[in-house]
A and B are shown apart, each in its own frame.
Chain A
Amino acid sequence: GAVVSQHPSWVICKSGTSVKIECRSLDFQATTMFWYRQFPKQSLMLMATSNEGSKATYEQGVEKDKFLINHASLTLSTLTVTSAHPEDSSFYICSAREGTNDYEQYFGPGTRLTVT
């Protein structure tokens, strides 16, 4: 149980284009989903937290107009990197929390984004 999927696994796009990454909880309803970014040999950095049906809460320094998050249902959240640039190339990982009292987060397999 508690499986989280991400799509795509990897994506290469040209500078200036937008990329959408999907995060799905396959066998549970996720009250909260989290989006992280991880640069090589660095820690996971929380970008934003989203609750179903409400606006995402972004961490300090993360541009909300550049990283659009939509949590349309209890099993799906999307992250859209708009007008991507090479410095946005990174490993993007989502995680999901099942209940409001559940402290554990279940991580997706990640999406490798390369912007050329």
Chain B
Amino acid sequence: GQNIDQPTEMTATEGAIVQINCTYQTSGFNGLFWYQQHAGEAPTFLSYNVLDGLEEKGRFSSFLSRSKGYSYLLLKELQMKDSASYLCAVRKDYKLSFGAGTTVTVRA
């Protein structure tokens, strides 16, 4: 089975840093995705981790520890437009299993 956990909600102020954690217990692992989803819209790709370590891409970074079944998404220099839901998804072969998502609210 697939068990993917993320916090439900997080709030931060504009310009701050927020870290969204994701823990997983899955039958099989080929990689981990992070997606951003605005309400009523499709998820958009943010990052993909296969190996342990940190992947940095502009204001967003993602970290993976396969031995701990743990990942985090780091959002720096928060902007109002970053208010959205952030989904952690584990890939096994060609299938994705999603967490319930973390709603991030950025306040001025």
Chain A residues in contact with chain B, CB under 8 A? 4, 32, 34, 41-46, 49, 91, 93, 97, 103-105, 107-110, 112
5 CB < 8 A contacts A-B: A34-B96, A41-B101, A44-B87, A45-B98, A49-B95
Specify which of B31, B48, B95, B99 is in contact with A43 (CB 8 Å cutoff): B99
Specify which of A4, A32, A41, A42 is in contact with B94 (CB 8 Å cutoff): A32
- Asked if A104 and B48 sit within 8 Å, CB to CB, the answer is yes
Residue B97 at the chain A interface, CB threshold 8 Å? yes
| Residues of A close to B98: CB separation below 8 A | 43-45
Chain B residues in contact with chain A, CB under 8 A? 4, 30-31, 35, 40-45, 48, 87, 89, 91, 94-101
| Residues of A close to B99: CB separation below 8 A | 43
- Asked if B96 and A110 sit within 8 Å, CB to CB, the answer is no
- Asked if B42 and A43 sit within 8 Å, CB to CB, the answer is no
Decide: A104 near B45, CB < 8 A? Known: A41-B100, A49-B95.
yes
- Asked if A103 and B42 sit within 8 Å, CB to CB, the answer is no
Give Cα A76–Cα B98 distance, bound, in whole angstroms.
24
Other than the given A43-B4, A46-B97, A112-B40, 10 more pairs (CB < 8 A) read A32-B94, A41-B100, A41-B101, A44-B43, A44-B87, A49-B94, A49-B95, A91-B40, A107-B42, A110-B40
Decide: A43 near B87, CB < 8 A? Known: A103-B31, A104-B48.
yes
Give Cα A7–Cα B102 distance, bound, in whole angstroms.
27
| Residues of B close to A109: CB separation below 8 A | 41-42
Decide: A93 near B97, CB < 8 A? Known: A43-B87, A44-B87.
no
